[in-house]
Amino acid sequence: MTDFSPPQSAVPKPLKPVRAPWKPGMNDVLILLLAANMIGTVGLGIRVYRGSRPTVVTVGVTQLTREYVARLATSQITPQEANIRTQMFMSVAQDAVKKAATDKGVIVMARECVLAGEFADVTSDVGRAVNATMDSTMGNRSALSPTPAPTGLQPTPASPLTAGGYNGQR
């Protein structure tokens, strides 16, 4: 028998391991989501702390409603007309409060909700706007639209919405 050895070129060389393409695993995805969350939180924190503080203004909703009901009770109108005017008053009052809040950075709250802190009261401005709208809609035949009487409460600062002291920027 003869020893047969194959030629060197016929012997297969050991192959180098081939790297598989990278596939993200669950840990990689969680790390990516955690990093995105941290970046978002930092950005939100910077925005909150650097942003301007909103101006809080109040409206005496109870006062406006009581004054309207008192004027309605002394008027000589039918119950159906009183119902229509009351629905109109509520709609007009809501619109007036929304318009008071259109300035950038202004938060309108019911006066009864604010327990402490600095705020401007815009009840008289909203009352005048409601009365003007009610007068123009119902005509001047109504005794329901005198301007609101002062309540004797603490004096309030000038309205930032009408006194020219507030221009939407701080």
Tens-digit pLDDT profile for residues 9-44: 666 777 777 776 777 788 888 999 999 999 999 988
Instruction: Report pLDDT digits (tens) over 111-155.
Output: 888 888 778 888 888 888 888 888 887 764 444 444 444 444 444
pLDDT of 77 above 80: yes
Domain 54-138 has CATH 3.30.70: no
Q: Considering the entire predicted model, what is its pTM?
A: 0.50
Angle between helix 61-73 and 79-100 (nearest 10): 160
Residue of 95, 76, 60, 75 whose CA lies nearest to 146: 75
pLDDT of 166 above 70: no
Backbone angles phi, psi at 152, to 5 degrees: 80, 10
Q: Considering the chain, what is the average pLDDT of its residues?
A: 75
The whole-number pLDDT of residue 4 equals 66
The whole-number pLDDT of residue 106 equals 80
